[in-house]
Structure 1
Amino acid sequence: MGITLQSFRTLSQQPSKWPSRLAWAFVLVAVAPTLLALPAQCKGCDSSSVASWRESLTPPDEKGAAIENRTIRQIVHLGPGGNAWRIRLSNAYGDKPLHFDRVVLAKRAAGSATVDGSARPVTFEGRQDVTIPPGAEVLSDTVTLPAASQTDLAISIYVAKSTPITTVHARQRNAIYFAVGDVADKNTLNEAPRPETGERTLWLSGVDVVSTSAVPTIVVFGDSISDGSGTPADGNASWPDVLYGRLVNANMKRAVINGGIAGNRLLRAGAAPRFGGAGVTRFERDVLAQPGATAVIVQLGINDIGLVDLTDPGDDLVSAREIEDGLAQLAKRAHANGLKAYITTLTPFAVTTIEGYYSDGKEATRQAVNAWIRHQDLFDGVADIDMALRDPAHPTQLLPANDSGDHLHPNAQGAKAIANAIPLSWFR
């Protein structure tokens, strides 16, 4: 069996019958194989909390929207599975306390239906209701519910009184359902018409799996291309989803969390609130603060180019050099916090149907930034997703087979091409 770390401590505390240097040499030789076999520690890894699902939050575009006497059932698609969970709810952009009367966790069956017998009450310090102060996030008590990797959970929130919608994720990666009254623990819902909430998820920021071992976590930090725009709704076809599937198939125990926000820019806050804060601003919260984060893949910058003179005419002109400097800062900040930093090239967007988004001058800026990305030495690796997506006959455009139809956002096949361009060797 050899000498354990406990016996190391015991031996070191006993009066030695040998010369002290010889005793220490013996002990160190004996325990060296044990010490070398210990797993490497990762900055931020918490052995009791692994991020299984995440989304980055923003304020809504409009003010004053609220929900009253409704159950909101939101679906999340898990990364790592497990037997116990903690739910994260956020009032990050609220200016008043936010009150939830009841929260229930269950396994999804199909649509809004849940698996019979799987409903579990979610408590907060032992209570079923919770009040979240302005600007804060709460983490639930542990909820026991066996659920496998890459399956769906349903998180149902009941609000009795008028509850403001202040903190959202603007694009639903999975489905959301509404019902009148408190039916949070029901298997099936008598679905009510969608309130004036738009295609958004509400208040939900994360699901953690409680684990006895740390799982290194890869954070994808990007815009709508990472968020999954252009892929089927509730289809789990975004490129971070596909990348996670590749890691599972390769028997590589990792978590992948999606920090994409549609419309997000690297250097400027979004022209619409739902586009979120600038990447250089939200990097701390959405990457560095994530439990277990060991690597980040940056896919950001195309909106800094395309949105010039489109949403804020004349106010957000940026040069290739400014974008390059912003990306360089992300690499340095990641490294300073013990994370590996990887980057993708910016994808083709010529002939996009978004009026005003493309011009020859903007294409020149994209080409300049991509040249810098391919040749810089600040990041630990480059995934050339421009090459993976573009049409060889028309290199400034998406290959039709990869195009969702707006000539900017990849479809499910394009998302798969992006995921396949990420070297798994980065994470071995």
Structure 2
Amino acid sequence: MTTTWTAAHRAAAINPNENLAPFESRGFTDQTVRQSLRLAGGGEAVRIHLTNRYGTTPLDIGGAHLALRTKGSGIDPGSDTPLRFSGTPTVTIPAGEETISDPVELPVSAGEELTLSLYLPGDTGPTTFNAIPYDTGHAVPGNQLSAAVLEDPEEFATGHLLAGADVLAPAGTRIAVAFGDSWIEGAATTPGTDNSFPGQLNRRLTRGWTVNAGISGNRLLTDEIGEHLLARIDHDVLAVPGVSHVIIHIGLNDLGLPGHFAHPEPAEGPTAAEFKAGLTTLADRLHTAGLTVIGSTIGPYKGTVHDGYDTPRGQAVRAEVNAWLLGDDHPFDGIVDVAAAVADPDQPDRIRDEFNGGDGLHVNDAGAKAIADAVDVTLLDL
């Protein structure tokens, strides 16, 4: 059988040196860092992507192991495999660059949990990271790459240095990239359950799968948090092996963050015309690359607890953009009505109580499932 490398996990990166910093960045010194991931699809072998994309100095990896996860920081010792990079057990990743491990001959299935252990011998400085990893990470002093369980580890809620995993899948395997903000990444869903919208969508698919390239706080038109969506296309979509479809949710932060960060002073976000032009540019660039592009309405957020986020102007722009997306003039191949899927029927600008992640801005596990259930899977001809 002919096989090809296909993305099975992705973690979109944030620069730790951004001015807007709602998520705590950090570094490591002489520590073993252990992080887990769940594969969206399976194959005959695995390779791991590591990133120093936003590092300002070279990053020394003093060793890296890959293993099947048991629970918490635990691994199955019988599966523990040292990673190599061009045949060597250590690697230095230059500032601004990424690297891919040599293949590990480890047959894996969709839904399999793997754990990556990295020994970081020097002072990494603030690391390239992602806001909502698959699960809680663990760190302990020294080189403990092969430990079955890390004793009394430090826990951290963000993801660091791990950019993704590919599997050696049957040739012709096609996947979707879920691209956008916190409603893609899975903020307010339960860590370690794969209950983000893309994770729950995968349970509905009978062929191919979806990888998650969401960044909580991300915007369509403005950098921070993370590069804006139009700037992320090449790295986070077009460079993903196997991609044929893109599913997009974006806009909440374009509309809400200006007022939130300026509070109690007023602030203006993009106009509806500017936002529609940005979405059209996004769709056109992805279509030019030969991809199927699925848009979505902007989710509801009226009454959110975040000061200054909910403004009459932002709500008016959201209403105009959503009406355009539900009409016949938008540039997408299909639309998922995310807003309708989770809205309170009596107050459609608000998230219904059973889907509210607690702040009126994010959806919980049940809300993410409602969005996944709203997708017409015939749009995903994978």
Instruction: Please state if 1:166 is matched with 2:127.
Output: yes
Q: What is the alpha-carbon distance in structure 2 between the residues aligned to residue 235 and residue 316 of structure 1?
A: 37
- Where does residue 374 of structure 2 map in the other structure? 421
Once the two structures are superposed, residues 4-60 of structure 1 have per-residue CA deviations (whole angstroms, 9 ceiling, x without a partner) of xxxxxxxxxxxxxxxxxxxxxxxxxxxxxxxxxxxxxxxxxx942110100100112
Structure 1: 5+ residue stretches without partners: 1-45
Letter of the 1:114 partner, please give it: I
The CA deviation at 1:422 is 0.9
- Where does residue 108 of structure 2 map in the other structure? 147
Q: What is the alpha-carbon distance in structure 2 between the residues aligned to residue 212 and residue 297 of structure 1?
A: 23
- Where does residue 110 of structure 1 map in the other structure? 71
Once the two structures are superposed, residues 346-397 of structure 1 have per-residue CA deviations (whole angstroms, 9 ceiling, x without a partner) of 0111110111110222111110110111112410001111111101111111
Letter of the 1:256 partner, please give it: T
Instruction: Please state if 1:134 is matched with 2:95.
Output: yes
- The residue matched to 1:109 in structure 2 has which SS? coil
Q: What is the alpha-carbon distance in structure 2 between the residues aligned to residue 392 and residue 413 of structure 1?
A: 16
Partner of residue 235 from structure 2, selected from 275, 285, 306? 285
Instruction: Please state if 1:322 is matched with 2:274.
Output: yes
Instruction: Please state if 1:53 is matched with 2:9.
Output: yes
1:168-247 equivalent positions in 2, closer than 5 A: 168-194=129-155, 199-247=157-205
Structure 2: 5+ residue stretches without partners: none
- The residue matched to 2:320 in structure 1 has which SS? helix
- The residue matched to 1:123 in structure 2 has which SS? coil
Partner of residue 261 from structure 1, selected from 197, 215, 221? 215
1:60-79 equivalent positions in 2, closer than 5 A: 60-61=16-17, 65-79=26-40
- The residue matched to 1:125 in structure 2 has which SS? coil
- Where does residue 21 of structure 1 map in the other structure? none
- Where does residue 306 of structure 2 map in the other structure? 354
RMSD: 1.7
Any conservation in 1 of the 2:261–2:308 contact (CA below 8 Å)? no
Tell me: CA distance 1:296–1:64, structure 2 relative to 1, closer, same or farther (3 Å).
closer
The CA deviation at 1:212 is 4.0
TM-score by length of 2: 0.93
- Where does residue 295 of structure 1 map in the other structure? 245
Partner of residue 368 from structure 1, selected from 310, 320, 332? 320
Instruction: Please state if 1:307 is matched with 2:257.
Output: yes
Q: What is the alpha-carbon distance in structure 2 between the residues aligned to residue 352 and residue 377 of structure 1?
A: 28
The CA deviation at 1:118 is 0.6
Aligned-pair identity (%): 34
- Where does residue 88 of structure 1 map in the other structure? 49
Structure that is richer in helix per residue: 1
Q: What is the alpha-carbon distance in structure 2 between the residues aligned to residue 315 and residue 362 of structure 1?
A: 10
Partner of residue 333 from structure 1, selected from 272, 285, 306? 285
Q: What is the alpha-carbon distance in structure 1 between the residues aligned to residue 36 and residue 319 of structure 2?
A: 39
Any conservation in 1 of the 2:189–2:365 contact (CA below 8 Å)? yes
Any conservation in 2 of the 1:51–1:255 contact (CA below 8 Å)? no
Any conservation in 1 of the 2:32–2:120 contact (CA below 8 Å)? yes
Letter of the 1:365 partner, please give it: V
Tell me: CA distance 1:58–1:290, structure 2 relative to 1, closer, same or farther (3 Å).
same
Any conservation in 2 of the 1:77–1:174 contact (CA below 8 Å)? no
Q: What is the alpha-carbon distance in structure 2 between the residues aligned to residue 188 and residue 208 of structure 1?
A: 25
Tell me: CA distance 1:314–1:215, structure 2 relative to 1, closer, same or farther (3 Å).
farther
Larger radius of gyration: 1
The CA deviation at 1:332 is 0.4
Q: What is the alpha-carbon distance in structure 2 between the residues aligned to residue 382 and residue 54 of structure 1?
A: 23
